[in-house]
Chains A and B, each alone.
Chain A
Amino acid sequence: MFLRNYWYVAALDEEVRDRPLGRTILGEPVVLFRTADGALHAFEDRCPHRRLPLSMGKIVDDVLQCHYHGLRFAGSGLCVRVPGQDHIPQNARVRTYPVVARYRWIWIWMGDPALADPAQICDFHWLSDPDWGAKPSYLHVEANWQLIVDNLLDLTHLAFVHETTIGNMALVEHAAVKVQRAPNNVLVTRWIVDQPAPPTFVKVGKFTGNVDRWQIIDYTPPAFLRLDVGACPTGTGAPEGRRVGGIGMRNLNAITPETETTSHYFWGQAHDFEPHNAAMTERVFEQIKTAFLEDVAVFTAQQRMISLKPDAPQVDINADAGGIQARRIVDRLYREEQAAAAAHATAAE
């Protein structure tokens, strides 16, 4: 199940240069490239002649040339050259997709192009904000995109999957989690007040006493999760909104479905302490990356089990509350999108 009329991250900005990049998105093959003026292009990655992926070709004179017979396609998607003949068949064209570069990511619109409004791109400004140190990255994951969303909205797995990295049992003992569900948003909030800071926080925050810690997970459909985590010296008013003398980080996640069982996982880590210290950015990133790979091992294994027996039963527990609410939003949006598409098709007949 894919939602189509949304912006998705297609690539890291640095991945799209003057060489074509092939990537399957929502089950559709797409080729991305830049022309000499820096303009971004996204085409269907299939030559209309003999269906070779155009990503196997190259950019020649600012147009994309197919590797097989040299047909060339301009930014409009129209074929502009067929080697050996003057006549260019009218249907020699490829579908184009709206694309935008923002927050060090390349965003693509896979749905109705008439609805593509860049103002709807989810805010990930921390990745490009000079007041924050940040590093974006990419993982290809052999798992359905919603398994990753479930994982990110669930705080209790930290105690088990990440017991040697970022978690401990205190995260599930006596924990109080708030799940706020709005029509198109889920917010999972947890405060840990007047407790010792974890060692990694002490290192960068130089805390000498207890702290108030927060973990706030913001989910926006289809699959954008922005985690706001940090700590301030206890009693300084962080739970009331006064964050002073502490540290803050953003763990930023944009999951793009590749197929029903594989995903493109774009993520980044941003920090507000020593934002211009590249070594600090790298250190924070590497710490989180270790934990990420622990998660990847989990949802790829889940996917293997699901693929073996898709209808095997599963039970829900309290800790699933955030993920369940996110899935309900996606289900509703999917029904709405399907109904709108059906109405549009009926009107067109």
Chain B
Amino acid sequence: MSLSRLLPAGVFVVIVVFLAIGLTRDPSVIPTEMIDREIPSFELPELREDEVMLTTSDLIGETALVNVFGSWCVACLQEHPTLMELSQAGTVRIVGVNWRDKRDDALTWLAKHGDPYSDIIFDAESDLVIEMGVTGAPETFIIDPAGRIRYKQIGPITPDVWRETIRPVLDAIAREQETNL
């Protein structure tokens, strides 16, 4: 068989490969630009104590999960039990970013579902959230003690996500810290 006979089949295979890659990618997941960058500087009030201002320095010194949530966010309820568990076990510091919310709504929501956060940054105007390249809630950043973003989880932290994705990153950071000491 001559080569030109194979050409249509070849073109077909190329198209199949392109479609296989193109159609199986989720277009709503945008790769984050923020990995290995420092968290942007900010100065925003604490949700629960409005006279307290939180700044970038409050996020430095300890590995933390920075969790973007809001009382309007349905999927946040899905990960909330996991966050509560982690917080009660004292596994990792969890900082909340309360996004595009009303203070009262957020406080009611936390009273109802529990409050796993060591600190909550009240970001009603998206000031910090947009500088962190957030596209929706929930999103969770893992930051190392130097305040660098090491990972971004888009969507809820289910027990599976915790086991397979988040914990390995935390372990890696912990190992790094040990070798640095």
A binds B: no
